[in-house]
Amino acid sequence: MAQPGFWDNQDKAQQITSQLSALKSVVEPVEELTREVDDLAELFELAAEEADEEELSQLEDDVEVLTQRCERIELQGLLSRPEDMRNCFVSIHAGAGGTESCDWANMLLRMYTRFFDANRFKYEELDITPGEEAGIRSITLRVMGPFAFGKLSCEVGVHRLVRISPFDSQSRRHTSFAAVDCIPEFDEDIAIEINEDDLRIDTYRAGGAGGQHVNKVSSAVRITHLPTGVVVQCQNERSQHKNKAQAMKVLKSRLYMLEQQKRDAAVAKLYGDKGEIAWGNQIRSYVMQPYQMVKDHRTEHQTGNVEAVMDGDLDGFIESYLRHRAKAGLKEA
């Protein structure tokens, strides 16, 4: 970064500074904890020599605090896959349930944006399809921050909601489903080739708010990779060229992950298999009536504080799944 001309290429410079930030988030907490452990060890020796009971009691409290911090660093160590540090693309798709599911997808969007804010992740909307009556049918976001993919890959799967429907005049209980998907973002020089003849590129007018230019000009881009059937689209930029470039970036990431799945079963698990967005495939249930509980069916981790979860408090679920995944990896090894 100290080299002359470092900032001449803004995109490359941004990639390097993001990598630096991610590496610092790994190294600095360990170095800080190591220094504090050494300091506590010296204080303990002095307190023991002087038989200072009050100081020894305080040191016990300090050790407990350091133990908790050490556990958090241990959790960070579970995010050790090469992809875990990367930015990512997160998609939410409404499933079985009509308007209810579209509203549920919108609730999940709010939950995740709260989580992004709490973790200081930056995010931007790439594409959105509003629901017919309420909520959203689907949305794709680009999420940027240290270990964004590592953490959000734990959320891949079908999420189930049980509640009294605000759209039902008879106030009956409804079950809704939505699927969350997550893929890592790769650099421009990603090792995958795409034949232009394999692509169908469609342009269309972007929907929603955005001014006269967005709504009157066909700036939105949809790319279909014919051999695999993978479809990506982007409409957040004013320029059709920029939308196409962003869509190609997402397409390359998706195709790369597909290739990895073919070659490596472990990476196939990393990507996840959502299955049908309906009953029996959910990874997590959010029950609001007749009782309140959020339960992850993969790890059995649960909480009765539904409101906190919907406000983005997902750390407990992510931590439990990372530990579950690590144990599963050890068993397979």
For the domain spanning 88-188+270-332, the CATH number is 3.30.70.1660
CA distance 268 to 271: 5
Q: What is the pLDDT of residues 127-160, one digit of tens each?
A: 899 988 889 999 999 999 988 999 999 999 999 9
Question: pLDDT by residue (tens digit) across 179-221?
Answer: 999 999 886 656 677 888 999 999 887 765 444 444 556 788 9
Give the mean model confidence (pLDDT) for residues 40-50.
90
The domain limits of the chain are 6-77, 88-188+270-332, 196-263
CA-to-CA distance for 179 and 168, rounded, in angstroms? 23
Residue 247's pLDDT is what?
87
Q: Cβ neighbours of residue 80 under 8 Å, at least 6 residues apart? A: none
The pLDDT tens digits of the residues spanning 90-102 come to 999 998 778 899 9
User: What is the pLDDT, as a whole number, of residue 242?
Assistant: 86
- Give mean pLDDT, residues 165-170: 83
Q: For residue 329, is pLDDT > 70?
A: no
Residues 314/117, Cβ–Cβ less than 8 Å? no
Strands 136-144 and 157-164, by their bridges, are: unpaired
The pLDDT assigned to 271 comes to 43
Q: Which of 151, 148, 158 is nearest to 104 (CA)?
A: 158
179: phi then psi, degrees, rounded to nearest 5: -110, 140
pTM beyond 0.85: the answer is no
Assess whether pLDDT exceeds 70 at residue 275: no
- The fold adopted by the segment(s) 196-263 is Double Stranded RNA Binding Domain (3.30.160)
Q: Are 177 and 96 in contact (CB under 8 A)?
A: yes
160: left (phi over 0), alpha (psi -120 to 50) or beta: beta
